[in-house]
């Protein structure tokens, strides 16, 4: 299905009159919002406002109580093109004994929801190498992820989310527990990816200063406890496909600031 209108304005996520309750607790009520191609959406709100709940509905882990969410024009329940989406969930402290290596964690991003036991092909290995290289973590490839610093783990999860060259990246508080300087470098990289690559972002963050410095002071929408800050990047010349492999050098350049710390 080609539902891509000209001019880089495809609806990537459509939230159509969505309600959500946990048992009797109403969290989201009648939310209406559209994320367009190459938007950067910063989602802010107090603890418990429903940010994580909304992201989980967008990636199909929770179902709205009422209303509908569409991904690339398709209702989430029918959507099965999950390779187009990279999702970095809210981070929990990893057990240092968690046995997976960095390479294994990154490669697992290739195995969509229904392909858990796919064999790792040569092409898969190359994709993992590209993602590791782009995030400047190739030297960590054989280390156990639980033994890395928070900032290093961050890059691993981002590499995992990027391995399929996603069109939509969803990040849930990606810099929690990371020192201020590393956070700044991380945001710089995210901004670079948004400005130079064909990726739409939805990011939850409590870092008001950083979010507003990029997205402006005025939310595009305030609904209940949720505030949506949006930056559009719709210059037609930037609409072409961008392949991660072709972008690696640029991404590495944008990582300089991180790796030098």
- Give the footprint of ligand ATP on this chain (CB under 6 A): 22, 25, 27, 45, 47-53
Closer CB to ligand ATP, 72 or 87, in the complex? 87
137 vs 211, beta carbon nearer ligand ATP: 211
Tell me the three-class secondary structure of 125-141, residue by residue.
HHHHHHHHHHCCCHHHC
Tell me the backbone φ, ψ of residue 21, rounded to 5 degrees: -130, 140
52 versus 107: smaller Cβ distance to ligand ATP? 52
In degrees rounded to 5, what are phi and psi of residue 71?
A: -115, 125
Beta bridge partners of 202: 41, 170
- Taking the CB of residue 245, how many other CB atoms lie within 10 A of it? 14
> What DSSP line would sit under 242-257, residue for residue?
--HHHHHHHHHHHHHH
Closest residue by Cα to residue 41 from 251, 210, 227, 213: 227
Find the shortest distance in angstroms from Cβ 206 to ligand ATP.
7
Q: Minimum CB separation from ligand ATP for residue 209, in Å?
A: 17
Least distance (Å) from ligand ATP to the CB of residue 222? Answer: 14
Closest to ligand ATP by CB, 27 or 135: 27
CB of 248 to ligand ATP, least distance (A): 32
Smallest gap from Cβ 53 to ligand ATP, in A, equals 3
Identity of the residue, 152 or 227, whose beta carbon is nearer to ligand ATP in the bound complex: 227
Closest of 113, 105, 201 to residue 160, by C-alpha? 105
């Amino acid at each position: 299905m080609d539902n891509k209108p000209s001019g880089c304005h495809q609806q990537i996520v459509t939230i159509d009159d969505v309600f959500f309750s946990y048992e009797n607790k109403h969290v989201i009520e009648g939310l209406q919002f559209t994320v367009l191609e190459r938007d950067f959406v910063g989602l802010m709100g107090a603890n418990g406002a429903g940010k994580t709940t909304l992201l989980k509905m967008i990636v199909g882990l929770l179902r709205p109580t009422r209303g509908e969410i569409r991904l690339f024009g398709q209702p989430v329940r029918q959507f099965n093109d999950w390779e187009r989406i990279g999702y970095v969930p809210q981070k929990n402290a990893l057990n240092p004994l968690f046995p997976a290596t960095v390479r294994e964690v990154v490669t697992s991003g290739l195995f969509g929801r229904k392909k858990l036991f796919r064999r790792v092909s040569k092409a898969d290995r190359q994709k993992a190498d590209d993602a590791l290289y782009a995030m400047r973590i190739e030297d960590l490839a054989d280390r156990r992820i639980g033994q890395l610093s928070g900032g290093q783990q961050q890059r691993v999860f981002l590499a995992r989310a990027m391995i399929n060259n996603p069109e939509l990246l969803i990040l849930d508080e990606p810099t929690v527990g990371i020192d201020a300087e590393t956070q700044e470098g991380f945001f710089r990289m995210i901004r670079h990816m948004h400005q130079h690559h064909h990726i739409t972002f939805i990011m939850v963050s409590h870092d008001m200063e950083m979010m507003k410095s990029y997205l402006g002071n005025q939310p595009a929408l305030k609904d209940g406890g949720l505030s949506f800050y949006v930056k559009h990047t719709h210059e037609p010349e930037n609409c072409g496909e961008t392949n991660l492999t072709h972008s690696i050098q640029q991404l590495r350049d944008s990582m300089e600031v991180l790796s030098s710390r």
